[in-house]
Amino acid sequence: MGEVMLSSAVGIIALMVTTWIISLIKKNASIVDIVWGLGFVLVAWISRAVADGDNARQWILTLMTTVWGLRLGLYLLWRNAGHGEDFRYRSMRKHWGPRFPIISLVTVFGLQGTLMWIVSLPVQIGESDATPKVGFIAFVGIAVYLIGLFFEVVGDAQLARFKGDASNAGKVMDQGLWKFTRHPNYFGDSCVWWGIAIVAAETGSGAWGFIGAAVMTFFLRRVSGVTLLEKSLKKRREGYDAYIARTSPFFPRPPKKI
């Protein structure tokens, strides 16, 4: 297991340093968002190549991670193409001035690389355990994963279609899945990683992977996801406060009557 975790760390460091160098050349730190999902794919395949675990579980975890990571990376590449650097990084660039390159290496690329290694723990540990058991618990994990993937894919598609209609400019998206949760994509992201962690947990030792799922959920709910995004949305979307009052921030539920 130690060899897998070390190899994954080396792969992540190489990926994030390379991405950082490209960001300096392009003067666009936003490319780190696209690489985020792809980094997990890299970890999954490194673990698959290095680990001497159960073959069936390795393939299940590798494919689950690859589908999620490629889908997310390609979606963000399509969404961000031609839009320049994200406002978050532009703000950082303005604040730090000539120090931004080295600051971004640590606080953007270094931090995301560290989180990538922690969140991917269920993949690393699950693929390392040779226990030959893929049973009911694994199927529960796959079901949770598929629910999460559904919320991500459908939620992103609904939002893209909403934004593609010029008449919706400045309006709040409160249709489809967005009627039941303000962030179906973040909820789906969380479910995906709890599903992966459940599959890994069937080995016993893989239960340590729940640390990764918990960290992902915490950051989505309290740090870089819901909390950070809504600070901006409250300023840019008329009626967003009313949307907050009636709609769950994360876990789907019927909207409240106001």
Kindly report, residue by residue over 177-208, the tens digit of the pLDDT.
999 999 999 999 999 999 999 999 998 888 99
Q: Which of 44, 191, 51, 6 is nearest to 122 (CA)?
A: 44
CB 70 within 8 A of CB 38: yes
Determine the average pLDDT of the residues in 199-220.
Answer: 93
Domain extent, residue 215, equals: 2-246
**What pLDDT does 240 receive?**
80
- 86 part of a folded domain: yes
- 188 part of a folded domain: yes
Determine the average pLDDT of the residues in 69-95.
Answer: 90
- 216 part of a folded domain: yes
- 251 part of a folded domain: no
CB 146 within 8 A of CB 195: yes
**What pLDDT does 16 receive?**
98
3-state secondary structure 79-121: HHCCCCCCHHHHHHHHHHHHHHHHHHHHHHHHHHHHHHHHHCH
> How high does pLDDT run on average in the chain?
92
3-state secondary structure of 136: helix
**What pLDDT does 235 receive?**
64
pLDDT tens digits for range 232-256 = 676 667 778 888 889 998 999 999 8
- 39 part of a folded domain: yes
Cα dihedral value 88, 94, 98, 104, nearest 10: -10
Q: How far apart are CA 239 and CA 243, in angstroms?
A: 6
**What pLDDT does 8 receive?**
97
Domains identified in the chain, total number: 1
CB 187 within 8 A of CB 252: yes
- 141 part of a folded domain: yes
N residues, the chain: 258
**What pLDDT does 57 receive?**
95
Confidence at 170, pLDDT banded by 50, 70, 90: confident
Determine the average pLDDT of the residues in 63-81.
Answer: 94
**What pLDDT does 252 receive?**
95
- 258 part of a folded domain: no
Highest mean pLDDT among 2-6, 94-98, 144-148, 226-230: 144-148
Determine the average pLDDT of the residues in 81-103.
Answer: 90
- 131 part of a folded domain: yes
Please state, for a pLDDT cut of 90, what percent of the chain lies above it: 73
